[in-house]
Structure 1
Amino acid sequence: MRKMEDALLFSALAFVWGTAFTAIEIGLETLPPLLFAAARLDIAALIFAGVVLLSRNQWLPRTRADMALILSNGILVIGAQFAFAFIGQSYVTSGVAAIIISFTPIITPIIAIRLLPTERIYVTDVIGLCAGLAGVIAIAIAGGSFDGQLLGVGLLLAAAVVFALGSVLTERWTAALPTMSLYAWSMGTGAIFLHVTAYAYSGASFRDVAWTPSAAAALVYLGIFATAGGFLLYFTLLNRIGATSVSLINYASPVVAAIFGAALLGEQITVATVVGFALIVVGFALCNIRPLWRLLRSTWNADVDSRSLERDEVCVRGNLYKKTDDSQNYQQPSD
């Protein structure tokens, strides 16, 4: 029953984060990218702040670590990442944008090795990074264009890098704030960062926006469902299935994005794009081969623990043993 619930939550998160790229594509038809991203965070920050106040959690930052995490998350993980991602997607399709962003879990361990002294580099990390980069390059030249397509892919790759950098930096500090409060402040900080950047970049403000029903609907969907709802789902899954399992969302949401982009926006899914995505997935698997192997083993052990045992079987730490003729002795089954 719990596995079914986890699968439903995972599917819901893949749906809202995958369709977010479709909503961004729709909104970018009329909205300035940076202002669009800022408005998305405005809505999500207000929702998170409301949840924090209603739950009566601690909300005021009290330590330097709290402030460091708020600034790192707000400016890098959320603010700069959204800035690069929204501008980048204005040059490419929603499916391509989702696939390039999925490069994030590949670059993260490479950055961690440079910044965190406890991390080590393995041959599989290097091969995985090369495979992922090959996938990104294949997608970048898929349309035979070295102008808009290449620029968009470069900006989206920058979004993945700043997200990974911010995520690694947050490992240096331990927050006293609850997670919800931390992200409420982080989203508010990211929104302010994007509003300032939008004004400095193009002088964009809400007074200059020509609102359309589709743009307004895209913004509401992104703010409420994809951002606020998506992060709530993410935190729930993080507590239920762990970081390694939930990281697989990076490869489920691009599939959703490609399907909805093709169905609703008429976007083409090229062979080069599919090959590039496959290379990125291979790169992820190589860079995360050890935690993925531990995940598979723990999943197998959980299955063994949960299955009904035969009368002559006993389960010890996930391993099945079968009784011999001597009722005091056990041997492991051959199959």
Structure 2
Amino acid sequence: MSTIRDGGLFLLLSFLWGTSFMAIKLGVEFMPPVLFAAVRYDIAGILMLGYVAATTGEWRPRSRADWLTVLVGATLIIALYNAFLFIGQQGVTSGVGAILIGMNPILATGFSRVLLPQEQFGGIETVGLLFGFLGVGLVAFPESTSSLAADLIAPAFVLSAAGCVAFGSVAIQRIDSDIGTEGMVAWSTAVGALLLHVMSAGRPAESVADVTVTPVAIVSVVYLAVFASAVGYVIYFELLDRLGAIEINLVSYSVPVFATLSGWLVLDESLDTAAIAGFVVIFVGFLLLKQGLIRDRLSAGRETNPTDRS
């Protein structure tokens, strides 16, 4: 029963995070992108702080290291990640955006090899990293080269978003903090929302006067804040505890499926052959990067669940 439940939660998380790309595309039509992200995390921050306060013990930052962890998370994982993502989503389809964000586990592995001395980088892992970037090239490279630089701007913003969250997650591992993961994410969300408001106010292209309040805009904000963020992270933390980091990282490769389907159904978007091929190449890169951990996990599974051969 627990396997069925975990599988159901995994699919639900993939659905919530996948359809969030479509919701972003809808919302940026009615409000400036960074301000849109800020409002999303205003609501999500309040909900998540209330949740961790009610369910966990070590949720309040108490030391300088705790606050440094929150600041890194707020800046890189929430503010910069979402600012780049929401800006970039204006110029790419939901599916392409999700595929590029799927580079996060690969980029995080690369950053960890540089920032975490205990991590080792072998030949197979190097090939995996190269596969990841090859996949990005297939996804992001435009069919027409007549305006190559302009066509690559939006994918570059989305890939920068993936780089920010990957670098932030690795940087947090270097900080000796006692705050729990749920508390760190909740506080980072709240502080990140404030940073997003500052960034929005500093962008000449954004103004509150540009906000158009429509039912679609309201639904987009509520869906992203309540379901994709608050509910999504509750599911994520439960699965992380039950499945482990390797299995939960696979959500990065199921999310594009739901992003593409929802973009096709709601926004009449399509995904070209090169993007699909790039997605496959990125996933192969992930498997190569994690091949040692995957092999160890499979070996441990066989030892704990031996097959009856009698």
Fold agreement, TM-score > 0.5: yes
Residue of structure 2 equivalent to 1:94: 94
Contact 1:110 1:125 in 2 (8 A): no
- 1:125 corresponds to which residue? 125
Q: Which residue of 2 aligns with 1:194?
A: 196
2:222 to 208, 217, 220: 220
Deviations 1:29-66 (A, max 9, x none): 12111011111111110101222333473543211220
After superposition, residues 1-335 of structure 1 pair within 5 angstroms as 1-55=1-55, 57-144=57-144, 146-202=148-204, 204-301=206-303, 305=305, 318=306, 320=308, 322=310
Query: Is 1:125–1:286's contact at 8 Å kept on the other side of the alignment?
Result: yes
CA distance in 2, matches of 1:149, 1:232: 36
Greater CA drift, 197-206 or 151-160: 197-206
1:251-302 C-alpha deviation (Å, 9 max, x unpaired): 0001110111111111111111111111111111111111122233344445
| Alpha carbons of structure 1 residues 219 and 151: separation in structure 2 relative to 1, 3 Å | same
Q: Match of 2:203, SS?
A: helix
Matched residue type, 1:136: V
CA RMSD in angstroms, aligned pairs only: 1.7
Report the alpha carbon displacement of residue 135 of structure 1 after superposing the two structures with TM: 1.1
Letter in 2 for 1:66: D
**Contact 2:76-2:164 at 8 Å conserved across structures:** yes
- Whether the 8 Å contact between 1:16 and 1:225 is mirrored in structure 2 is yes
Distance 1:59 1:114 in 2: 29
Matched residues, percent identical? 38
Matched residues in 2 for 1:56 and 1:186: separation? 16
Aligned residues: 308
Give CA-to-partner distance per residue, 1:157-207, whole Å, 9 cap, x none.
111111111011111124323333222211011111111011101363545
- Distance (Å, rounded) in 2 between the aligned partners of 1:240 and 1:142: 40
Contact 1:143 1:149 (C-alpha < 8 Å) held by counterparts: no
Cα 1:261–1:148 shift into 2, 3 Å: farther
Q: Secondary structure at the match of 1:202?
A: coil
Bigger-Rg structure (1/2): 1
CA contact (8 A) 1:84 1:158 kept: yes
CA distance in 2, matches of 1:96, 1:176: 37
After superposition, the C-alpha distances for 1:117-164 in whole angstroms (9 at most, x for unaligned) are: 101111112111111111111112243252443111111111111111
**Partners of 2:142 and 2:152 within 8 A in 1:** no
Gaps of 5+ in 1: 306-317, 323-335
Structure 2 unmatched ranges of 5 or more? none
Supply the AA of the counterpart residue of 2:39: A
Between Structure 1 and Structure 2, the one with more helix by share is 2
Q: Are the equivalent residues in 1 in contact too, given 2:113–2:121 (CA < 8 A)?
A: yes
Letter in 2 for 1:141: F
1: distance between equivalents of 2:150 and 2:97?
Answer: 13
Bigger RCO of structures 1 and 2 (CA < 8 A, at least 6 apart): 2
Distance 2:260 2:302 in 1: 31
Equivalent pair of 1:37/1:83 in contact (CA under 8 Å): yes
Question: Measured at CA, do residues 265 and 300 of structure 1 come closer, stay the same or move farther in structure 2, by a change above 3 Å?
Answer: farther
Cα deviation for residue 319 of structure 1 reads: 6.2
How far apart, CA to CA, are the structure 2 residues paired with 1:23 and 1:299?
38
Q: Work out the CA distance in 2 between the residues paired with 1:247 and 1:58.
A: 25
